[in-house]
Amino acid sequence: MGADLLKADAFVRELVRWASERVGTDLERLCLRGPDRELTRTRNLQPLLVCVSLGYWRQLTERGVQPDVVLGHSLGEISALAAAGIASAGEAVDIAARRGALMDEAASTVQGGMLAVVSSERERVLHWVAGEFPDDQLVLANDNAPNQFVLSGERDALERTARFVADEKLGSCRKLPVSGPWHSPFLRQAQYQFGAWLAALPFHPPRVPILCNASATPENDPATIRERVVNNLTGPVRWRQCMEWLKGHRAHPLLEVGPGRVLSGLARANGFGDDARLVNVNNLHGVDHAAREVYSTPA
């Protein structure tokens, strides 16, 4: 992850050094050499992902690429804050480091996790979950696509749900490799602490609209954006609704900036066809490809 950036981009190396000071770990070494067990700890991974994503983002802006709208899935919303000019790159890393540390602490207090579900019987599954776990033991965490969603909560509840889906032949389930029940009420204390900490950090009016996970609508008021970012810790990621907004406004090409290709897959799952042009910017070759795509798009 980000090996080409760390080799070629002094800005990214400095940003990673800044993040390393915040978490007390050599994140560059961890990124390049592991071990994966430490790399994937949320207190380490969150600020590092923001560093890498903003490194590729800066490469895009240096090539003249400017967005019409920005958004990010869960943690990706922090990188989107910097892309929109709401926070600086360093502030975004600070936010991710604080967020990751608080989520790490919260995860140590509960045996929880997340379960991805692919099912054409979405409402039946969610109705069963609401009936079986009325006390928020299990909740909808990521509303990713019409037939794809993620549940978050106690491990026993996740296992019971996976058995129900399998026994009723309603689809498929996969446990996600995360250390806690993100986007669930189990993070209420972390949300409170995060909100109190974030209140001291100035948010600037966005230079471009930002679609927030909590509302799936463009936000321009800094105070509202701050509130949405805080609520993201316990509330669901409304990604399906964000994709509907983009389709309604004929947004293209779509640039997925940062490691992986998950969001491009979710765009397809939300009905973006071959004419949408999805570009993965997860290496420097992707930066050049994205710039060519943007410049070749009719105004």
* Lookup: tokens for 39: 């790399």
**Sorting pLDDT into bands at 50, 70 and 90, what band is 298?**
low
Nearest to 125 by CA among 144, 138, 111: 138
Q: What string of DSSP letters covers 136-183?
A: SSEEEEEEEETTEEEEEEEHHHHHHHHHHHHHTT--EEEE-S-SS--S
pLDDT for position 297: 55
Can you tell me the distance from the alpha carbon of 170 to that of 29, in angstroms, rounded to the nearest whole number?
A: 43
Contact at 8 Å (CB) between 217 and 224? Answer: no
What spatial distance separates the first Cα and last Cα of the chain, rounded to whole Å? 33
Q: Is a pLDDT exceeding 90 seen at residue 194?
A: yes
Asked: is 3-107+185-295 a CATH 3.40.366.10 domain? The reply is yes
Closest CA to 285 of 56, 101, 67: 56
Q: List the chain domain ranges.
A: 3-107+185-295, 112-175
Average of per-residue pLDDT across 84-94: 97
Q: Quote the CA–CA distance of 86 and 246 in Å, as a whole number.
A: 21
Mean pLDDT calculated for residue range 175-191: 95
pLDDT at residue number 299: 47
**127-156 pLDDT, tens per residue?**
999 999 988 899 999 999 999 999 999 999
Radius of gyration of the chain (CA): 19
Q: Are 3-107+185-295 and 112-175 equal in CATH topology?
A: no
**Phi-psi label, residue 126: left if phi above 0, alpha if psi -120 to 50, beta otherwise:** alpha
Is residue 261 pLDDT above 50, yes or no? yes
DSSP state of 296: T
> What span, in angstroms and rounded, lies between the C-alpha atoms of 7 and 2?
9
- 112-175 folds as Alpha-Beta Plaits (3.30.70)
Burial label for 117, CB within 10 Å (0-12, 13-18, 19+), is: buried
Q: What percent of the chain has pLDDT over 70?
A: 99
Element (H, E) at 23: helix 10-23
Whether residue 58 is predicted with pLDDT greater than 70 in this model: the reply is yes
